[in-house]
C-alpha cells in the first residue's frame, strides 16, 4: 500500500501520519502544543530535537547535554516529567 493509506484504501489516521508526516497537520499540532501551558515544554522539546537532528556531528554532544539538562532533569527549565525513564536515559556505547 502507498504511504499514508491503509490496506483497504482508507486514509491513515495514525498520529505519525497526521501530525508528523503531513505539513499542515504538523504545523497545527505544534501550534496547539505551544498554546497550552502544560504542553508548551513538549512543543519546545520537539523543536529542539528537530534542531538536534540537523546539527553538525561536532555539536551533538554539547547540544545533547543541554537537552538533557533543560527537558529531562527534574528542576530543568522545561522538565518533561511525562517522559519515561527509558526515554530520558543517557545512551550507552
For 26-35, 53-62, 64-73, 77-86, which range has the lowest pLDDT when averaged over its residues? Answer: 77-86
| 3-state DSSP of 69-83 | HHHHCCCCCCCCCCC
Signed CA dihedral, 79, 82, 84, 85: sign only: positive
Cα gap 25→47, rounded to integer Å: 15
pTM, entire model: 0.75
Question: pLDDT tens digits for 31-56?
Answer: 999 999 999 999 999 999 999 999 99
| Strand intervals (E) in 1-92 | none
Q: 15-88: CATH homologous superfamily?
A: Regulator of G-protein Signalling 4, domain 2 (1.10.167.10)
Question: Where are the domains positioned within the chain?
Answer: 15-88
Amino acid at each position: 500500500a502507498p504511504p499514508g493509506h491503509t490496506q483497504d484504501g482508507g486514509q491513515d489516521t495514525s498520529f505519525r501520519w497526521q501530525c508528523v508526516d503531513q505539513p499542515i497537520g504538523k504545523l497545527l499540532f505544534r501550534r496547539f502544543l505551544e498554546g497550552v501551558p502544560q504542553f508548551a515544554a513538549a512543543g519546545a522539546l520537539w523543536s529542539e530535537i528537530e534542531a538536534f537532528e540537523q546539527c553538525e556531528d561536532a555539536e551533538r554532544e554539547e547540544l545533547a547535554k543541554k537537552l538533557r539538562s533543560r527537558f529531562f532533569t527534574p528542576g530543568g527549565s522545561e522538565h518533561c516529567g511525562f517522559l519515561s525513564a527509558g526515554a530520558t536515559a543517557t545512551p550507552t556505547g
